Amino acid sequence: MRKIFIVIFFITSLFIVQLKTFAHHQDQLMIKSEAAVVMDAQTGAVLYGKNADEKMYPASLTKIATAIYAIENGDLQDKVTISKNVVNTDGTKVYLEEGEVVTLHHLLQGMLINSGNDAAVAIAEHLNGSDEQFSNSLNKYLKEKIGVTNTHFTNPNGLFDENHYTTAEDLAKITNYAMKNNVFKEIFGTKELQWDGLSWDTTLITHHQMLKGEIPYPGITGGKTGYVDESKQTLATTADNGQMKLTAIVLKADNKKTIYNETIQLLDYGFQNFKTSYLPKSKTFTVKNKKFKLTDPMFISEPINGVNYVVSNKGLLQIQTKDLETVQTVQLTPVEKEIHEQPVSKIHETKEPLNKMNALYGTLFLAVSGLAYSLIKKNKK
């Protein structure tokens, strides 16, 4: 009898362990930095996030926002005259001289490639007259055009101010939006550029070690570094493996080694566990007697090892992992004519999600229990 119970306990325990192994792969990531996110650049889905909505100091990652704002609101061929205020800017520079005339396009290159704080101030003064006026316009632009929710900038370059903050998720949104612009994409992905300034002739080389190849990683398409004492190390990276485009943001790492190692972890995680798929406008989803469709064709992020489509009776589509963890949500549009036959698809109501693997284990558990009961009954005889 005792042996029978030991066998039953062992088998039952095995099932419990198997059920628990369906924890999300996110648990495997060892992110020590204070905040991080990896996002599908085409869908906007957050594939992994740590403190993704926490307010953080971005340092020079601010320049990503400054650049796309300037590209969309200025004339790249405009000639900008450098002021004394620009020359006196603190931090990393491209060493602009008072009275020097530089095109807006060249200032953008100096700002993004060499992280020139002076170039950023020159851009702000040219577009809006001052840092304050520029920041007001930039904040409005970021909210209305890109849809950020937790960002407030007080300057164009990211020098520390306690009221100058953003989040890892907002920065990923800003970067994704900017990467759709060809001018930004080209500058953001530039490894080196000849700089012919009035008093500084040199070759600008990106500070981003993965972009310039010091830390090899296939498919890197762009990057920006940042550092001030209060923010520590910050890093934005974009990558494309030919099938999926990712944006990784890491904030407040203690050192450069950590921030690059964790960026690699994030990119590996995204590429190895997800794919970008396309849903045509003709795609419909059925739940009970209601039918829903997409308003427009769209890209979605799907787990590579299996996906659950879950639709609520109000038409909210949730794209989930096999473990029922939501990756992306999409609001569907009801089809006017409702249908009454049962749907033949993977779609089901949110209220009663189907986990096929758990159902399988349940069936096996009942079978084992029945076998155990038979053995006990036989033993009693």
> Which residues are identified as catalytic?
60, 63, 115
**Edge-to-edge strand list for the sheet holding 326-331:** 326-331, 316-320, 308-311, 348-349
Q: Which residues of 54-72 are buried (b: 16+ CB within 10 A; e: fewer)?
A: bebbbbbbbbbbbbbbbbe
How big, in percent rounded to 5, are the helix, strand and coil portions of the chain?
35, 25, 35
Q: Which amino acid is at 85?
A: N
DSSP label of 343: P
Cβ atoms of 58 and 82 closer than 8 Å: no
The CA distance from 177 to 3, in Å, is 64
The CA distance from 73 to 273, in Å, is 38
Which residue from 125, 117, 132, 111 is spatially nearest to 64, judged by alpha carbons?
111
The CA distance from 44 to 330, in Å, is 11
Helix then strand count (H, E) for the chain reads 10, 18
Q: Which amino acid is at 160?
A: F
Which residue from 150, 146, 154, 152 is spatially nearest to 173, judged by alpha carbons?
146
